[in-house]
Amino acid sequence: MAGRRRRLARRAPGGGFTREVVSHFLFLSRRLLGPLHALAARADFPEADRSERAVDATFQAGTVPVVLRGRVGETALDDHNTWTLEGEAGTVRLRDWAIAERRSPDGTFAPAPDAMPNERARPIALRRQLDGVVRMTKGEPHHLATLAEALEVQEVVEAILAQGR
């Protein structure tokens, strides 16, 4: 695992949290809201030959405005991944990949009372992913990213990183 961390901490190619983590949230935004476009971004590379430590971007997913803010290392306030959607019906977020929460009137987030606990949901989600891989390899319909969706996300990731300083 230490070797993987060192490789991911390097700037090129394939390193950094934008490629490894943010890409999943870009895909989720794209899948739920529509094609990604109108990107304005900045990535901070404070150390030579090291991956980014911060990214900020605005773009649209379909017609929905999106704000992206990512931090790692000393620039990170906490160690949670969150994807939040605000709308007329309220605010929901996905935290740490699998915990779905709704914002209550007092501003706090909590899972729905009838939500499956994460320790039970995670094996189900992993099994669903593997089932998707099997279906894809057999040429059957599946829920995984299409090549077009994956390319679109990769292009957005690389466009964010190209705005490095």
pLDDT at residue number 43: 95
pLDDT at residue number 122: 77
Q: What's the pLDDT tens digit per position in 44-94?
A: 999 888 889 999 999 999 999 999 999 887 666 677 889 999 999 999 998
Per the model's pLDDT, the better-predicted residue between 3 and 72 turns out to be: 72
**C-alpha angle with apex 110: 109 to 116, nearest 5 degrees?**
145
Determine contact, residues 161/18, Cβ cutoff 8 Å.
yes
| C-alpha to C-alpha distances, 39 to 29, 55, 61, 76, 134, nearest whole angstrom | 14, 13, 10, 23, 34
| Owner of token pair 């529509």 | 34
pLDDT at residue number 27: 95
Q: Given a cut of 80, is residue 118 above it in pLDDT? A: no
pLDDT at residue number 76: 60
Supply the angle between the helices 147-162 and 23-33 in degrees, to the nearest 10. 130
